[in-house]
Amino acid sequence: MLMTLALAATVVSGAPPHEPMPTLRVQTDRPGARINAAMWGLFFEDINFGADGGLYAELVKNRSFEFPNPLMGWTPLHPAGVEIRQDAPLNDVNSHYVRVTANERPASGLVNEGFRGIGLHGGKAYEFSAWIRAAGGSPVLTVELVSGEGRVLAATRLKNFSPGWKQYFARLRPQQTDFKAQLRIQVQGPGALDLDMVSLFPRDTWKGRRGGLRADLVEMLAAMKPGFLRFPGGCIVEGRYLTNRYDWKTTLGAPETRKLIINRWNNEFRHRPAPDYYQSFGLGFFEYFQLCEDLGAEPMPILNCGMACQFNSGELAPLEELDSYIQDALDLIEFANGPASTRWGSRRAAMGHPAPFCMKLLGIGNEQWGPQYIERYARFARVLKQRHPEIQLISSAGPAPADDRFTFAWNKLRELKADIIDEHCYAAPKWFFDNVHRYDHYDRHGPKVFMGEYAAQSVAIASPDNRNTLECALAEAAYMTGMERNADVVRMASYAPLFGHAEAWQWTPNLIWCDNLRVYGTPNYYVQLLFSRNRGDVVLPLDLFDGNATGATPADRPPRLFASAVLDERSHEVILKVVNPSDQATPARILLAGCAKAGPVVHAHVLRGRSLNEQNSFEDPIRIAPVTQRQRINGPAFETTLPPYSFTVLRVRAR
Ligand code: AHR
């Protein structure tokens, strides 16, 4: 992903005559706080078609006919011969299926439109499957992949169906790439077939798992080397009402036994309706844990704490009914960590993972606030801390980084000696620049901070006009230097949301954009990637004398640079991260104090653009992406130039 560009030694011109050259002095011999190995991670939610229609590689929408309109996503070839039925279904949670009775003419069958079309790569294999029952006669099922223009790209036939439900498989290989293909199934007579869980997956899923995840999307995540994965959200944990909260237990087992529910983002924004957005839970808790393992990321499940979304109904589970929610948490710990001999550990083992997942983090509620939250959190914590002191609990400080809800939550959670408090912030880029020093003054002995959701908003929160601009990315990078400098307090952080489908999003900005066949990382993505891949082990004290730094200059002159420094103990490298949001190339003096030898080469990973408004796109996916440069140096004091509108990570060996 990183492009390499070998440069000759950077020639540093002098600073403009009226401004002193900024100096960054790093105390290499005074290591400070240890940085959590899981510091920079991922926030995942099924928003913007993040799971169904996105990461979960299923290509058929409403495969189970369980949407409230059972034929949503499907178009009968002819109304006669297509019937939704519920008698003798596949199972109780999947109670609808379709009966297709063969006609002489016209043909009987259905077409599935996919998630805004079906994306097919020419020459690649696709796995069709369906649960089928013969309902009279001995019909043949024709399965076709059809292009947007109606051309058959691949076809196969299935026959000899048994009178009981049975799963059938077929492989198709379209010869042509198509972003908007469809799946057409036809029954040729005489006779009829019952069909359910009609499914199509690419053969090449992540790690080749049948019914698995989109490989190109997971590869984007793997490239980041994330420290943790928070799942399954987000407001989706809460639901509009408690009846459609996220219940992890319904997401286990065979896909056809996972009960589908409405996605909370289906009808959240009137300006971005998504009436066809449901949760199939094909990507369920087992798969999330498995993904964490694949990525080397700490699993961080977030559970409902007996509260529906406070932006919606705010429905509360009465305190006397909270035990079942707390039991869900205990059962989840057993599912993740218990031996295969336990009730829930055996469910994990039955799904193919006898070894524990070694979960250490657990979120109690997503974005909750007020006394109702505190009393619910306290009940969870009392039980969980006593039974599982090894699990660090994450609690919520509400939806904003500073308001009455935030202050109330922090005060109460401090009294309760909470482990880690989840702060959320969606704000203008200016907020992030202005708050780079936010954590310098936090109590070193109180709860730790998890900045669990943050993203600079180029226009306003929830505005459909927000864009992933370079300015937003630089604002986040500047803020992240502040988190890194305070790594003793801020233990973890994640940008939110993670994915956006270009044709099906509800929320913007997002870290990674995809469509049915393509994906690209935003400038914000590359900021996250650079921090994560250059995490370091300990913070190094850094003095930034830039003539404009906060506290050093008049208030009307903003700082020119934002920086942090860490040490990679294994490679003996000092890693310096510097943000220059200005339009000026800024020469700077770097002093690695306390070390005798440095270099001889500095590797600089530079993310830069020509203007603050620049963005990446499907057509220009790495317009803003890190480029690696080399600079030769003669010792621990050297000069370098920080390009305009840039974020630079400098790595230099120091002894
Ligand atoms: O990231 C989008 C939403 O923002 C999350 O679901 C929620 O926690 C927050 O309000």
pLDDT, one tens digit per residue, over 62-99 is: 999 999 999 999 999 998 899 999 999 999 999 999 99
Taking the centre of ligand 1 as the mean of its atom positions, its distance from the CA of residue 234, in whole angstroms, is: 5
- pLDDT at residue 410 greater than cutoff 60: yes
Sequence-ordered strand ranges (E) for 189-289: 191-202, 228-231, 261-262, 278-279
How far from chain centre, in Å, is Cα 349? 26
- Which amino acid residue places its CA nearest to atom 2 of ligand 1? 497
Tokens of 187: 């029954």
How far from chain centre, in Å, is Cα 512? 8
Taking the centre of ligand 1 as the mean of its atom positions, its distance from the CA of residue 495, in whole angstroms, is: 11
Tell me if 111 sits within 8 A of 74, measured CB to CB.
yes
User: pLDDT digits over 117-156, tens only?
Assistant: 999 999 999 999 999 999 999 999 999 999 999 999 999 9
Please determine, looking at this structure, whether the domain spanning 3-35+537-654 carries the CATH number 2.30.40.10.
no
Query: Of 584, 466, 484, 580, nearest to 528 (Cα)?
Result: 484
Q: What is the pLDDT of residue 79?
A: 85
- pLDDT at residue 15 greater than cutoff 90: no
Cis before 234 (ω within 30): yes
Is the CB–ligand 1 distance for residue 452 below 6 Å? no
> Residue 453 CA: which ligand 1 atom is closest?
1
Say how far apart CA 310 and CA 305 lie, in whole Å.
12
> Residue 366 CA: which ligand 1 atom is closest?
8
The amino acid occupying position 317 is: A
For tokens 């006593």, the residue is 386
Query: Of 197, 171, 128, 39, nearest to 528 (Cα)?
Result: 39
User: pLDDT digits over 168-199, tens only?
Assistant: 999 999 999 999 999 999 999 899 999 999 99
| Percent residues over pLDDT 90 in the chain | 92
Is the CB–ligand 1 distance for residue 508 below 6 Å? no
Three-class DSSP category at 364 = strand
Taking the centre of ligand 1 as the mean of its atom positions, its distance from the CA of residue 291, in whole angstroms, is: 21
Taking the centre of ligand 1 as the mean of its atom positions, its distance from the CA of residue 224, in whole angstroms, is: 22
- Which amino acid residue places its CA nearest to atom 5 of ligand 1? 234
Is the CB–ligand 1 distance for residue 309 below 6 Å? no
To test ligand 1's pocket by mutation, which of 366, 373, 461 has the most ligand atoms within 8 angstroms of CB? 366
Is the CB–ligand 1 distance for residue 110 below 6 Å? no
> Residue 43 CA: which ligand 1 atom is closest?
1
Is the CB–ligand 1 distance for residue 367 below 6 Å? yes
Is the CB–ligand 1 distance for residue 466 below 6 Å? no
User: pLDDT digits over 359-387, tens only?
Assistant: 999 999 999 999 999 999 999 999 999 99
The amino acid occupying position 441 is: H
Interstrand relation of 40-43 and 228-231 (parallel, antiparallel or unpaired): parallel
Q: Which residues, other chains included, contact 443 with Cβ-Cβ below 8 Å and sequence gap of 6+?
A: 414, 489
Kindly report the pTM of this predicted structure. 0.96
> Residue 311 CA: which ligand 1 atom is closest?
10
Q: Which residues does residue 456 pair with via DSSP β-bridges, in sequence order?
A: 427
Distance in angstroms between the alpha carbons of the first and the last residue of the chain: 30
Residues known to be catalytic: 367
The number of beta carbons lying within 10 Å of the beta carbon of residue 205 is 18
Q: Output DSSP code: residue 326.
A: H
Top CATH class of 74-202 equals mainly beta
Taking the centre of ligand 1 as the mean of its atom positions, its distance from the CA of residue 187, in whole angstroms, is: 44
Query: Of 331, 307, 308, 333, nearest to 319 (Cα)?
Result: 307
- Which amino acid residue places its CA nearest to atom 1 of ligand 1? 497
Q: What is the pLDDT of residue 189?
A: 82
Is the CB–ligand 1 distance for residue 399 below 6 Å? yes
Spans of all domains in the chain: 3-35+537-654, 42-57+206-533, 74-202
Average pLDDT over residues 333-348: 98
- pLDDT at residue 51 greater than cutoff 90: yes
- Which amino acid residue places its CA nearest to atom 4 of ligand 1? 234
Taking the centre of ligand 1 as the mean of its atom positions, its distance from the CA of residue 235, in whole angstroms, is: 6
Q: Output DSSP code: residue 459.
A: S
CATH superfamily of 42-57+206-533: Glycosidases (3.20.20.80)
The overall average pLDDT reported for the chain is 94
Helix-then-strand count for the chain, H and E: 9, 35
Cα 185 to Cα 65, 75, 213, 459, 538: the distances in Å are: 15, 11, 24, 45, 59
Taking the centre of ligand 1 as the mean of its atom positions, its distance from the CA of residue 534, in whole angstroms, is: 27
103: confidence class by pLDDT, cuts 50, 70, 90? confident
Q: At what angle do helices 404-415 and 370-387 cross, to 10 degrees?
A: 30
Average pLDDT over residues 271-283: 96
What stretch of H or E contains 564?
strand 562-568
For 550-566, letters b (16+ CB in 10 Å) and e give: eeeeeeeeebbbbbbbb
Q: What is the pLDDT of residue 556?
A: 57
Query: Of 138, 188, 185, nearest to 162 (Cα)?
Result: 138
Query: Of 476, 450, 570, nearest to 531 (Cα)?
Result: 476
Is the CB–ligand 1 distance for residue 453 below 6 Å? yes
